[in-house]
Amino acid sequence: MNQPLTRRQMLRTACAATAFVGIAPRLTRLRAAEPAQYELPKLPYAFDALEPAIDAATMQLHYEKHHQAYIDNLNKALADQPDLRSLPIAELVRGLVPGKSPAALVNHGGGHLNHTMFWESLRAPRADNRPEKSLSELIARAFKTFDAFREQFTKTALGRFGSGWAWLALDERQKLIIRDTLNQESPLMFAQQPLLGLDVWEHAYYLKYQNRRADYIAAWWSVVNWETVAARFDKATSK
């Protein structure tokens, strides 16, 4: 229980607060005193912004319920580890090894990061949606043509049995690769850098597409935010 502050303590607190007024470290100090928690990031567009490719009802459920649940469960799994809760989510996930690290961290830490990246890599639909020239050329060089890349990625996403993700990623030698991951595993857990991920869990498409994963994937290509992907590529390769 909180004891009432003595006059001396009140003065000391007031003086300390005054001393920090107007200087940048003040906010940092105040925040550092609170226990860190992972939080749902703000969605960069409205729920209906991706229509008709991804419907508003799916977006709202996916973001408010599914993503939030990963975050809540992650915070719960880290209840006694405030030092880990203050890590950027990508750093936490990078340190996990599926099969060796606690399953709750792989599932919910991966779930939080994968969904955060997913929202960021979507935008309103565009016809003939392709990356800008430089990324387009890099992808074409790696997979013969951009259309061949799209075909191979689609095949990987369709072939992911059960729940998981399809990815465009950079391997350890910074070569562009396509791969899938199981459940909420991230390429980061395999020392690879994710650039673009497609959620192929049924919760991502079932309301609108039912069992037609192929139709969902075909529509998803129209809402890929290639600028986000290019920025991730630049960041990963400029280190």
* Nearest CB to Mn ion, comparing residues 58 and 156: 58
Strands of the sheet containing 164-170, edge to edge, are 176-182, 164-170, 193-199
Of 25-33, 95-103, 189-197, 201-209, the segment contacting Mn ion by CB under 5 A is: 201-209
* Nearest CB to Mn ion, comparing residues 149 and 213: 213
* Nearest CB to Mn ion, comparing residues 136 and 183: 183
* Nearest CB to Mn ion, comparing residues 71 and 204: 204
Of 52-60, 141-149, 159-167, 200-208, the segment contacting Mn ion by CB under 5 A is: 200-208
Query: 9 — phi, psi (to 5°)?
Result: -65, -40
Residues from 84 through 143 that contact Mn ion (CB under 5 A): none
* Nearest CB to Mn ion, comparing residues 185 and 199: 199
- Report d(CA 16, CA 216) in Å as an integer: 57
- Report d(CA 205, CA 65) in Å as an integer: 14
Of 42-50, 87-95, 184-192, 198-206, the segment contacting Mn ion by CB under 5 A is: 198-206
CB of 114 to Mn ion, least distance (A): 7
Map residues 156-195 to x or -, x wherever contact with Mn ion holds by CB under 5 A. ----------------------------------------
What is the SS3 assignment for the chain?
A: CCCCCCHHHHHHHHHHHHHHCCCCHHHHHHHHHCCCCCCCCCCCCCCCCCCCCCCHHHHHHHHHHHHHHHHHHHHHHCCCCHHHHCCCHHHHHHCCCCCCCCHHHHHHHHHHHHHHHHHHCECCCCCCCCCCHHHHHHHHHHHCCHHHHHHHHHHHHHHCCCCEEEEEEECCCCCEEEEEEECCCCHHHHCCEEEEEEECCHHHCHHHHCCCHHHHHHHHHHHECHHHHHHHHHHHHCC
CB of 163 to Mn ion, least distance (A): 9
* Nearest CB to Mn ion, comparing residues 68 and 86: 68
Q: How many residues bind Mn ion (CB under 5 A)?
A: 3
Of 71-79, 87-95, 97-105, 199-207, the segment contacting Mn ion by CB under 5 A is: 199-207
Residue 199 touches Mn ion, criterion: CB under 5 A: yes
* Nearest CB to Mn ion, comparing residues 113 and 135: 113
CB of 107 to Mn ion, least distance (A): 12
Residues in contact with Mn ion by the rule CB under 5 A: 199, 201, 204
